[in-house]
């Protein structure tokens, strides 16, 4: 997702965020000129603006993911309604053919009953509303007409529902297009600001980012050893659930995979895309959007976290990762970044969720 930070973080964290964002141009592929830094802006000032733009893009990306999921649902609903309507039309045709056979038999045997003539030349619904007309029909004819009426109403309802879903699908696709443009615009503005950094500054922040990622990975490996060694006496984290640990192990196989917004694997991910993919490998189906994933299990506090728990950040719950132990998480961070270990302190933590 976007670059992340807790307000007024130490300068090292700020450099890390800038370094990851500085490589975003290769991923975003958008050049924007609407954002420009004031001549007197410091690196931290630029970072503040870039961070805000990335966070805004992250919020919209989760909205995009939700709309994309709804698009898929609508397509399935429309296909089902259309299939049902097609089968219903076939059934209606069969019923009408059967009524026609009755009429033909009557004609051959001395003439068409007046009530049958009325039915064949008018709307069945209007005809059936006339109780006196029903009295003139045989029980078999009346039952056939009722079946035709019921089938016609069902068919009309299915077609109406399909039309409503198609209209909603068109609205969703329009929303997706607008959100995509907005996301790319935000990322492009951020890149325009980052382009003002000198080459030396870019190298500094890239080095700082690499150092932090390596430190987080070492801390996570240290925690892994502590939780598997009974003699370590480690009590810093609760015991991991089997599915949570399996999801964490799966996510770890994607270290270094590129962040791509709205991607859910297997070769690139956004934040909720990584968590949903990882848990799928553990046999658990998670919702696609981070806000929905927050309700997929039991909520836990910071002190109750165990490796494999989902961890959520920002009041809007727009970023999610997988707790890796020792205050570290594994996540897909932001455009231009890769799946990595990171300290949970770089973002405003809200709560964890234990799944399975």
Torsion sign across C-alpha atoms 197, 202, 206, 212: negative
Q: Are strands 349-354 and 310-313 parallel, antiparallel or unpaired?
A: antiparallel
3-class secondary structure for the chain?
CCCCCCCCCCHHHHHHHHHHHHCHHHHHCCCCCCCCCCCCCCHHHHHHHHHHHHHHHHHHHHHHHHHHHHHHHHHHHHHHHHHHHHHHHHHHHHHHHHHHHHHHHHHHCCCCCHHHHHHHCCCHHHHHCCHHHHHCCCHHHHHHHHHHHHHHHHHHHHHHHHHHHHHHHHHHHHHHHHHHHHHHHHHHHHHHHHCCCCHHHHHHHHHHHHHHHHHHHHHHHHHHHHHHCHHHCCCCCCCCCHHHHHHHHHHHCCCCCEECCCCECCCCECHHHHHHHHHHHCCCCCCCCHHHHCCCCEEECHHHCCCCCEEEECCCCCEEEEEEECCEEEECCCCCCECEEEEHHHCCEEEEEECC
- Determine the longest span between alpha carbons in the chain, in angstroms: 102
Q: Length of the chain in residues, anyone?
A: 356
CA distance 26 to 307: 33
The residues that are catalytic are 271, 319, 331
């Amino acid at each position: 997702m976007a670059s992340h930070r807790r307000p007024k973080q130490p300068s090292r964290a700020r450099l890390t965020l800038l370094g990851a964002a500085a490589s975003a141009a290769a991923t975003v592929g958008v050049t924007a000129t609407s954002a420009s830094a004031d001549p007197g802006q410091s690196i931290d000032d630029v970072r503040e603006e870039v961070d805000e733009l990335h966070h805004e893009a992250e919020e919209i990306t989760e909205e995009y993911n939700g709309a994309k999921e709804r698009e898929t649902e609508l397509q399935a609903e429309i296909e089902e309604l259309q299939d049902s309507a097609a089968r219903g039309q076939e059934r209606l045709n069969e019923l009408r053919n059967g009524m026609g056979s009755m009429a033909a038999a009557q004609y051959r045997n001395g003439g068409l009953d007046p009530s049958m003539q009325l039915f064949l030349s008018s709307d069945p619904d209007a005809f059936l509303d006339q109780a006196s007309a029903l009295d003139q029909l045989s029980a078999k004819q009346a039952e056939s007409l009722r079946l035709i009426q019921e089938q016609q109403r069902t068919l009309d309802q299915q077609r109406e529902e399909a039309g409503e879903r198609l209209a909603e699908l068109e609205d969703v696709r329009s929303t997706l297009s607008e959100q995509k443009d907005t996301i790319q615009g935000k990322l492009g503005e951020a890149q325009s600001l980052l382009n003002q950094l000198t080459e030396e500054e870019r190298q500094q922040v890239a080095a700082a980012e690499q150092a932090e990622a390596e430190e987080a990975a070492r801390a996570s490996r240290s925690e892994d050893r502590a939780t598997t060694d009974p003699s370590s006496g480690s009590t810093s984290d609760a015991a991991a659930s089997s599915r949570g640990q399996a999801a964490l192990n799966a996510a770890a196989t994607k270290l270094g995979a590129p962040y791509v917004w709205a991607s859910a694997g297997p070769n690139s991910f956004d934040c909720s895309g990584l968590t949903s993919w990882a848990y799928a490998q553990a046999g658990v189906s998670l919702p696609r959007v981070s806000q929905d994933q927050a309700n997929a299990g039991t909520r836990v506090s910071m002190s109750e976290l165990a490796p494999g728990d989902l961890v959520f950040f920002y009041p809007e719950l727009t970023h999610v990762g997988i707790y890796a132990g020792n205050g570290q998480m594994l996540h897909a961070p932001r455009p231009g970044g890769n799946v990595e270990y990171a300290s949970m302190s770089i973002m405003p933590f809200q709560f964890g969720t234990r799944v399975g």
